[in-house]
């Protein structure tokens, strides 16, 4: 028998951003397809595993790291970021202060983690998620799509998505895009 060789990848993905922006909700939606208004923020680190049949011969396992309660400090230790290959940075579109947090989180990432030497050692790909877009009245946001595209270019994000963990909007798409970027580098 000549079975085609299956390529398997395991990627550590960080999910970071200010408290209450919906990080845990996004992970639960993505991995378990559920949503609740009440996730306890327990101190520590939570992991979730998502297995993607990327293509007939490629399986990607995503180990999603949820910072669970430590985000109030606005940064994480280097040990926590170690060997991450991508990140989702989340803000809450209804709370502008959480968007200020985005730059802070990106800087923290760039200072503390980079791609493996074998991959060129650059910064890891980061997708920006403007979450809770279901709460925007008539879809109105104080940031336009073109502004966000410009912001991403200037600040080293690979792409921006408006998302809703509640209504399952763009969660899969954002994660998928991040994976495609990692696969491209590898």
24 touches Mg ion by CB under 5 A: yes
Q: Can you tell me the distance from the alpha carbon of 156 to that of 185, in angstroms, rounded to the nearest whole number?
A: 15
Comparison of 60 and 174: residue with beta carbon closer to ligand GDP:
174
25 touches Mg ion by CB under 5 A: no
At residue 117, the 3 state secondary structure works out as helix
21 touches Mg ion by CB under 5 A: no
Whether residue 24 contacts residue 39, with contact meaning beta carbons closer than 8 Å, is answered with yes
Please tell me what DSSP assigns to residue 128.
Answer: E
Partner from ligand GDP, Mg ion, none binding residue 132, C-beta < 5-8 Å depending on class? ligand GDP
Q: Which whole-number Å values give the CA distances from 4 to 60, 156, 183, in the listed order?
A: 16, 37, 19
CB of 134 to ligand GDP, least distance (A): 5
CB of 30 to ligand GDP, least distance (A): 12
Q: Among 13, 14, 22, 182, indicate the residue that binds ligand GDP (CB under 6 A).
A: 22
């Amino acid at each position: 028998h000549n079975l085609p060789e299956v390529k398997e990848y395991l990627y550590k993905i960080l999910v970071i951003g200010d408290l209450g922006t919906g990080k845990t909700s996004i992970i639960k939606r993505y991995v378990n397809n559920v949503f609740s208004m009440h996730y306890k923020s327990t101190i520590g680190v939570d992991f979730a595993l998502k297995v993607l049949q990327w293509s007939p011969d490629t399986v990607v396992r995503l180990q999603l790291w949820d910072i669970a309660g430590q985000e109030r400090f606005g940064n994480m230790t280097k040990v926590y970021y170690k060997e991450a290959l991508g990140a989702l940075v989340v803000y809450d579109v209804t709370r502008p202060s959480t968007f200020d947090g985005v730059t802070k989180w990106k800087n923290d990432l760039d200072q503390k983690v980079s791609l493996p030497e074998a991959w060129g050692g650059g910064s890891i790909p980061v997708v920006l998620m403007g979450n809770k877009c279901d709460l925007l009245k008539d879809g109105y946001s104080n940031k336009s799509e073109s502004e966000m595209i410009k912001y991403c270019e200037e600040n080293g994000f690979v792409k921006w998505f408006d998302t809703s963990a509640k209504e399952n909007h763009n969660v899969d798409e954002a994660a998928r895009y991040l994976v495609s970027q990692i696969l491209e580098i590898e």
